[in-house]
Amino acid sequence: MNDHSSLDLTFEARPQRAYGSARLAVKPVNGRTRIGTLYQEGCAKIRLPDTDDLSLEAVMINTSGGLTGGDEMRWQFAVADDCRAQITTQACERIYRASAGVADVASALEAGEQASVAWLPQETILFEGSALKRTLTVDLAETSRALIVEPVVFGRKAMGEDVRNCTFRDRWRIRRGGKLIHAEDFLIGPDAASMLGRAAMFGGMRTMATILLLDADAERYLEPSRKIIGTKGGATSWSGKLLARVIDGDAYSLRKRLVPLIELLNKKAGVPKVWSI
């Protein structure tokens, strides 16, 4: 008989982590934008609903239902010359309390000559104790057009959720013709309540959207954008770039201004249909 009395048979329970990776490339086919290649892995899925025009709409889906510390998502999109595509999400992305580590989301976009790409995910909702690191890398050709919108919600007011402690890091790097034309790093937390309450930042508001338009005639949208934004936020424009930030007290009020702003800046494409479902 073997003696196992001296063996340590204890096992460390490790939480399951979500991982997803998806890549989509689109190409022109008889004047329409159509799928070229599609790769999906893990909990990252991409769906391509029918559209009423020549463009393509891609819907990102995270089948894990939300993210927490240690989860990873990777998204890549390539829009070929003369193509038009807008990319959105099936629903709001939820970032839940993290017992350890951070949720890591990295997205990359490419747009060729005379191409147009709109990055229009629905709101990212950060819950109490959450931690998110997010990066967005965009490579544009000299004549391409890009609209980037990223709304963020720090707790849902209608659900009585208050976010006092969370960490949110957002890093953007955008190049045109290989040259860096826009870079920003946003950090809030871990004492989120203090930062949200500062007059120079959120002034007690709990939602924010960053809007960036990169187009040769971006400056002509400045005054119409300022009329939509009003006093809760601001906009500026220079050298083929329009940058705006909008803040509000809740997600519903933010959307009431964000939707007409997207409709203005996204030309005929407007707001993705899934935003209203």
**What's the pTM?**
0.91
Q: Is residue 243 part of a domain?
A: yes
Domain that holds residue 125: 29-276
6 occurs within a structural domain: no
CB 109 within 8 A of CB 137: yes
- pLDDT (tens digit, 9 = 90+) per residue, 132-146? 999 999 999 999 999
The better pLDDT of the pair 39, 164 is held by 39
Residue 13 lies in a domain: no
- Residue at 179 is within a domain: yes
Return the pLDDT at 160: 65
Would 24 be classed as within a structural domain?
no
Residue with tokens 């990066």: 135
Q: What percent of the chain has pLDDT over 90?
A: 74
Residue/partner pairs of 141-144 with CB below 8 Å, 24 or more apart: 141/81, 141/111, 141/112, 141/113, 141/114, 141/115, 141/176, 141/177, 142/113, 142/176, 142/177, 143/113, 143/114, 144/79, 144/111, 144/112, 144/113, 144/114, 144/115, 144/116, 144/117, 144/176
In this structure, the strands spanning 179-188 and 167-176 are antiparallel
DSSP-derived letter for residue 127 is P
Question: Residue 5 has what pLDDT?
Answer: 53
Q: Mean pLDDT of all residues in the chain?
A: 91
* Overall average pLDDT of the 47-66 stretch: 92
Residue 243 neighbours by CB distance under 10 Å: 20
Q: What domain count does the chain have?
A: 1
Asked if the model's pLDDT at residue 194 lies above 70, the reply is yes
Residue 70 near residue 17 (C-beta atoms within 8 A)? yes
In a domain, 3, yes or no: no
Rounded Cα distance, 248 and 257, in Å: 10
Q: Is residue 2 in a domain?
A: no
Q: What is the pLDDT at residue 6?
A: 57
pLDDT in tens, 245-267: 999 989 999 999 999 999 999 98
Comparing 12 with 121, the larger pLDDT belongs to 121
Q: Is residue 1 part of a domain?
A: no
